[in-house]
Every structure is written in C-alpha cells, then in structure tokens.
Amino acid sequence: MQIFRTPAPAQWPGLQQRPQAEQNAQVLARAAAIFDDVTQRGDVALRQYAAQLDGVPDLGALRVSAEELAAGAAQVPPALQAAIRQAIQNITTFHAAQRPPAVEAEVETMPGVRCWRRSVPVPRVGLYVPGGSAPLFSTLLMLGIPAQLAGCRQIVLCTPPGRGTGQVAPVILFAAQALGLSTIIKAGGAQAVAALTVGTASVPAVDKIFGPGNRYVTAAKQLAAQRGVAIDMPAGPSEVLVIADASANPAFVAADLLSQAEHGPDSQVVLLTDAEEVLSGVLTELDRQLPLLPRADVARQALAESRAILLPDVAAMLDFSNQYAPEHLILAVADPEALAADIYNAGSVFMGHLTPEAVGDYASGTNHTLPTGGYARSYSGVSLDSFYKKITFQQLSPAGLTALAPVVEAMAEAEGLGAHAHAVALRREALAAPPAAH
C-alpha cells in the first residue's frame, strides 16, 4: 500500500483519485459494435459470441430449460443450500420493510385540487449476474428478491455460460430456483445487455437493467440508457474505506482490506487512521495474511493502487471519507454510533469491530449493489424502491379549476405559452357560461 502521513487537506483530492480505467474509448467502441450486431442478428449473434468469448462452440438453446434448472440446482451441497436460504430470508426481511403504500396520502393543494402519487412496479426487468470462475450468485439474491417483492411482471436473468461447458453454474441455478425465477438466459458481457435492451427471439426486451459486470458490461449499460432503457446506476471497480481509531484490531482491519482487494486488480482499498500503532499493525497484518489468500496475486495488484493514510483526528477522517464517497465504509472505532450522523456520502456503512463488509456482501440483509467511483455522492444503492416507478395524479373539481385557472393562465402567458393558457381558459369560460336553454 502507498503510505501517507498527515497530508495537508490541499493534497486530499489527489489521494482520493481512483485507479484510471484503461482504454475507455476502445471499450465503448467495442461494446457499441456488439450492440449493433445483436440488434441486427439477434440470437445468431449471441451464439457466435458464446463461441468466441465463452469457448462454447455449440451453445444450442439460449434459455435454460426446466430440466437443466432442476438438475443444476440439485448439485449444490446441502450446507450451501441452507446458507443461501438463510440469506434469502434476511434479504427479504430487510427489503420487505421498504415496501411503499400502493397509494401515498392524497393532498388537497387548494380547495378542489386533489393530488396524489402511486407506486407502480417496473413491468420488465433484466438482471445481469456475472459468471465465470467465481459465479456471483449473491448478486442474484440482491436483485431478484426486491424485483419479486416489488411485483415486477417479468424478470429476466442473464448470466454467462460456463467456459467450454455451455452450462450455467449450478449455484446460480439453485439461487434462481429458490427465488422462483424461470427465465434464465445463457448470455454474458455486452451482448447480454444488448439483448435485454433490444430483445431477440429468445431474450425478452426489458424496461430496466440491473447488475454489475466488467468494463464492457458497464459500457453496454451506458448504451442501453441512450436507447431509453433505464439502468440501476453507473458501475465501476469495487472499493472500501476503513476509518480505524486506536481501538481497532489490526488483524480485522487488514482482513477487511484484503476481502475487498481480492475482487479485482482495479479494486481500491483505503485505510484512514489517527493511530500510528494501528497503521503499522495493519501493514504487518497485510504482509502476514496476503500470502495465505487463494487470490493473493489479484489482491496484491489492488493493494499497489491503494492507500493507508494517517490523519490527525476523527473529524479529519470523516471529512476525507465524505469527500471520497466510498462504496463501502467500515467504522472500526470504539463508538461508531457517535459518527453515523456525520456520514453523508457512502453506499453502505458497517458499524463497529464485529461488522465486516463481507456480511453485507452476502447475508446481513442490506443490498450489496452499491454506487462506486464516487457516485455515492449522488446515488443510492439498489433497494426495493429501485424496482418501482412513481406516478403522480391530479384531479380538479369545478371549484378547483375556477380557483387555479387565473394562476396557470398568468404563468403560461408570462412564459409565452399561449396554448397552455388557452387550454385552461377554455374550461374556465365553459364553467362560467350560463346553461344552454332547452
């Protein structure tokens, strides 16, 4: 890790920089070419990319059959099945508590002018779940559960076929089965996002796309948004920031940093502490724990772009953290509740010495689909609300129109929009006219 001791606030912006993504223009151009190809050739293009990119020369059906789903799910060991079911219960409990009323409280803004708002599920959603050597079945739980709770009519799961096998990872199939999802597509990468956007013979088009992925998936989601399909949020490499005071356990802190660093070489971890002994202890623990990890090489690359920073006090650490706006924020301090009210930029916060970031990744109940790259300044993580639209309604009585008409007419005329004023005046005059004689 790069080590900085008491940097001046003027130096902080440089220390808050994320690792730069490589070849952005080339990635976007490649994703756009794939998008156009899938738009033109549909399923044929998806099978070709499965052969080229996934090593599956004869994929066959793009949709997972009921028989494949059952057979794959049955391969998951009972202990993992039980763990997934417990995670489902916790995630469901947390997200069900977020369910909005079908119709929010109606208000009368002035006599005869009624306004209200209704929560409506996004009708069709696409869930992208990365596969490969480490299938992220936990992501399926984080997306599938709120989609179901919201009542989305159609939920389409896209996940890459296994390299060389053409089969979806059994643990993803078990998670899908446990959630009652049946529309499962063997497609990954930018091509899957393109298919969800434009639709193919096998892949239904959707209204909103959720889920993380590599830089090609991220670029494809940007292209989807340009075509009128909503996305959950901009996505980037995973990150964690730890605020540690003198009470922190260096072994715990090092383990938390490594658990994030193992996600990928472009992940970033940041340690802020006001205790020199914690800083040196964490660095010692990193050296001890790193060689023991199965993904040590990946974590080592991430640590090379990561920072350990000694700051004068807790106030400075909070200030730095809020400027950085981390995806994950761990408060490894004696009294985390005392700091919580001063946190205003973070995706998810982990309070105290016994709350590692890993619990939120899997099973505490909160959602792990969170804003990265500083987007926590303006974006929230995925929640039940992400799967709803809010539609406003208004209705005027004769008294309401009569009272509101002069206001609207004056404002419309001032903006030079005479047709707006006329639409109101026409009704006002009709109400004022005497009844026609019979």
The domain made up of 237-380 has a fold known as Rossmann fold (3.40.50)
184 burial (CB, 10 Å; 0-12 / 13-18 / 19+) is buried
For a pLDDT cut of 70, what percent of the chain falls above it? 98
Fold of 23-232: Rossmann fold (3.40.50)
328 assigned to a ligand binding site = yes
Predicted confidence (pLDDT) per residue in 307-318, tens digit: 999 999 999 999
Q: Are 379 and 233 in contact (CB under 8 A)?
A: yes
Q: What is the per-residue pLDDT for 438?
A: 67
Please indicate if the annotation marks 148 as binding a ligand.
no
**Whether pLDDT at 23 is above 60:** no
Q: Residue 214's pLDDT is what?
A: 87
Per the residue annotation, which of 95, 239, 285, 328 is the catalytic one? 328
- Among the listed residues 18, 22, 380, the one whose alpha carbon sits nearest the alpha carbon of residue 216: 22
Query: How much is the mean pLDDT over the chain?
Result: 96
Q: Over the stretch 240-298, which tens digit does the pLDDT of each residue have?
A: 999 999 999 999 999 999 999 999 999 999 999 999 999 999 999 999 999 999 999 99
Known binding residue 260? Answer is yes
Query: Is the pLDDT at 19 greater than 90, yes or no?
Result: no
Average pLDDT over residues 128-142: 90
Does 131 have pLDDT greater than 90? no
Given 305, 327, 357, 409, the catalytic residue: 327
Is the pLDDT score of 41 beyond 70?
Answer: yes
| Residue 61 to residue 414: CA distance in whole angstroms | 61
- Asked whether the CA dihedral 350, 356, 357, 359 is positive or negative, the reply is negative
- Predicted pLDDT of residue 256: 99
What's the rounded Cα separation, in Å, for the pair 358 and 342?
23
Residue 128 annotated as binding site: yes
Active site annotation includes 327: yes
Residues of the chain with CATH 3.40.50.1980: 23-232, 237-380
In this prediction, residue 25 carries a pLDDT of 87
Q: Is 167 annotated as a binding residue?
A: no
